[in-house]
């Protein structure tokens, strides 16, 4: 597995036909026809059109099984990482979340992954990606004279740092879930908030708003896992 990923904006109203067009434009165009595809059981992927489409291409469709992390665990982790990176980008750089997808994909595929001991790009193509970041070391950026290049690469640097943070957070979260956590009165903690639709926090709505706010002091312990916080 190369761990490489493509991040593409889609709509909840997309049909199986829409996904088929996107698949040809963004996957087949770059990688050719795949031998097999593993997907979740979304309505678009269990539709007869999608199955017939893949059968016509000669690809086998395999659907993931619910509560079976061996098949969907990696995809879920990648999605969680993407959400964390998008959340950081809309806070750091402003703008619409889909504006940042190309640079996020570039940063993700060119960042070191410990599980494969290299970057996904290198695993996929057998060589390291030539990054514009290296241009500044030889002064080529001055010849180009494009502020856009400099701005883009500065964003890539920030995104890669956010990626490291997201991966570290996921690892810490996994470790924390393996042991019970208890707090005491006067401890300071962050409050996890649900991404309720339409709720605005820090100028952002829904999933891309900050998931944790605070820190807040624990004023009272109610039970083994319940606490009362001092909120502003």
Say how far apart CA 146 and CA 11 lie, in whole Å. Answer: 33
Residues 35-58 have pLDDT tens digits of: 999 888 888 888 899 999 999 999
205 or 7: which carries more pLDDT confidence? Answer: 7
Rounded to two decimals, the pTM is: 0.62
Q: Are 169 and 146 in contact (CB under 8 A)?
A: no
Examine the domain organization and report whether 86 and 158 are in the same domain.
Answer: yes
The 10s digit of each residue's pLDDT in 153-209 is 777 777 777 777 777 766 665 555 555 678 889 999 988 775 554 544 555 555 666
Residue 105 lies in a domain: yes
Domain that holds residue 214: 188-229
Both 73 and 150 in one domain: the answer is: yes
Residue 57: count other Cβ atoms within 10 Å of its Cβ: 16
Residue 4 lies in a domain: no
In a domain, 208, yes or no: yes
> Is there a domain that residue 142 lies in?
yes
Q: Specify whether 202 is located in the same domain as 171.
A: no
**Domain end point (choices 177, 203, 220):** 177
Angle, to 10 degrees, between the axis of helix 16-23 and the axis of helix 48-57?
Answer: 30
- Residue 36 pairs with which residues in a beta bridge? 60
- Most confident residue range from 68-72, 106-110, 135-139: 106-110
The confidence score (pLDDT) of residue 140 equals 44
Q: How far apart are CA 18 and CA 48, in angstroms?
A: 14
Indicate if 173 and 200 belong to the same structural domain: no
Tell me, yes or no, whether 139 and 25 share the same domain.
yes
157 and 214 share a domain? no
117 and 59 assigned to the same domain = yes
Predicted confidence at residue 64, as pLDDT, reads 78
Is residue 5 included in any domain, yes or no? no
* Alpha carbon 60 to chain centroid, angstroms: 26
Same domain (yes/no): 26, 136 = yes
- Tell me the per-residue pLDDT of 122-167, one tens digit each, with 9 for 90 and over: 999 999 887 665 444 444 444 445 566 666 777 777 777 777 777 7
Tell me how far apart the alpha carbons of residues 108 and 160 are, in angstroms, rounded to a whole number: 7
Q: What is the pLDDT of residue 74?
A: 76
Residue 50's CATH number: 3.30.420.10
What is the reported pLDDT for 137?
43
Bridge-based pairing of strands 227-229 and 212-221 is: antiparallel
- Mean pLDDT, the chain, whole residue set: 78
8-34 tens-digit pLDDT: 999 889 999 999 999 999 999 999 999
How many domains, in total, are found in the chain? 2
Task: Report angle CA 191, 200, 77 to the nearest 5 degrees.
Answer: 60
63 and 145 housed in the same domain = yes
Tell me: pLDDT of 222 over 50: yes
In a domain, 182, yes or no: no
Instruction: Note the pLDDT of residue 142.
Output: 47
Helix axes 147-177, 101-109, angle to 10 degrees: 70
Pair 164, 209 in one domain: no
Over 174-231, what HEC string results? Answer: HHHHCCCCCCCCCCEEEEECCCCCCCEECCEEHHHCCCEEEEEEEEEECCCCCEEECC
In a domain, 8, yes or no: no
Together in a domain, 200 and 87: no
- Note whether 214 and 112 are same-domain residues: no
Mean pLDDT, residues 100-123 taken together:
87
Pair of tokens at residue 231 = 């909120």
């Amino acid at each position: 597995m190369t761990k490489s990923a493509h991040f593409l904006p889609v709509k909840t109203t997309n049909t199986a036909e829409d996904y088929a067009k996107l698949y040809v434009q963004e996957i087949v165009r770059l990688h050719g026809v795949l031998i097999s595809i593993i997907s979740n059981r979304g309505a678009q992927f269990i539709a007869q059109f999608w199955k017939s489409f893949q059968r016509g291409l000669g690809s086998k469709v395999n659907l993931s099984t619910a509560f079976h992390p061996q098949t969907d665990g990696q995809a879920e982790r990648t999605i969680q990482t993407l959400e964390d990176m998008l959340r950081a980008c809309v806070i750091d750089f402003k703008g619409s979340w889909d504006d940042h997808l190309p640079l996020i994909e570039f940063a993700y595929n060119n960042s070191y992954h410990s599980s494969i001991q290299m970057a996904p790009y290198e695993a996929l193509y057998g060589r390291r990606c030539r990054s514009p970041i290296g241009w500044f070391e030889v002064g080529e950026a001055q010849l180009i004279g494009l502020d856009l290049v400099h701005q883009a690469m500065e964003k890539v640097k920030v995104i890669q740092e956010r990626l490291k943070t997201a991966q570290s957070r996921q690892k810490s979260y996994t470790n924390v879930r393996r042991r019970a956590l208890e707090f005491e009165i006067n401890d300071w903690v962050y409050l996890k908030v649900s991404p309720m639709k339409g709720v605005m926090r820090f100028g952002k709505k829904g999933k891309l708003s900050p998931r944790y706010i605070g820190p807040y002091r624990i004023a009272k312990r109610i039970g083994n896992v319940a606490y009362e916080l001092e909120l502003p």
